[in-house]
Amino acid sequence: MPTPTNANAHADLKLHAAQRALQLVEPGMTLGLGSGSTATLWIKLLGERVRDHGLKIRAIASSDDSERLGRSYGIPFVTFEECKSLDLTIDGADEVAPGLALIKGGGGKLLREKIVASASKRFVVVADESKQVEKLGRFPLPVEVIPMATPLVSDSLRALGFTPTVRLVDSGKPYITDEGNLILDCSGLLIEDPAAMAVKIKSIVGVVEHGLFLHMANLALIATEKQVIERTR
């Protein structure tokens, strides 16, 4: 368990990355609001600019939680019916590997996060240095599945080398995504070839989406103790 001092330092790193991401925002942009702890800090900073300084932007959120937070600051929201592309999306990540290969979905919002990221002209990841890895897979890979197909998908994922477990909430009941699906957290395997693995997982009938975000991020803002490092592909 982190000490209070370490926890405060960790929070400061996230804040530094969020502050750097705020510098990428320009008036008139349509923004994608991501999910997770660092992205939440960014939404709060962005909201303060909107509420207190009259920044004119529009947004689409990758989760109901992020939209509620944005609305609490007066950020105006649109839909993909009204706006087919986003100028910039800021989101967190659970792991960041070379080439900006990512694992996302620790918060359970991977499907909407991937939709928003795919519609973005620029997709920027904000994270602290603890999220950097050489190979993806130490963090369990989330896979969103249709409830009916969960036993079948689980067997197929085991055949690929994973140990899948249904994600639960604190009450012990299954976690339900915003779309009414389940999540299998897949552990036990370092992913040597993320692109090949993504194809194999997506081909399993019953899989809605997986947490491998490949060739999507343009920039990662990684906060270290001394500075925010900018990583590109």
Residue 82 annotated as catalytic: no
> How many CB atoms are located within 10 Å of the residue 25 CB?
18
197 Cβ contact list (under 8 Å, min separation 6): 160, 191, 212
Give which of 45, 57, 51, 49 is closest to 19, Cα–Cα: 45
∠ at Cα 219 (178, 9), nearest 5°? 80
What's the rounded Cα separation, in Å, for the pair 158 and 187?
10
Phi and psi dihedrals of 229, rounded to 5? -90, 135
DSSP letter for 209, please. E
What's the rounded Cα separation, in Å, for the pair 114 and 112?
5
Catalytic residue among 113, 129, 134, 192: 113
85 Cβ contact list (under 8 Å, min separation 6): 30, 119, 120, 121
Q: Report, as residue numbers or ranges, the catalytic residues.
A: 113
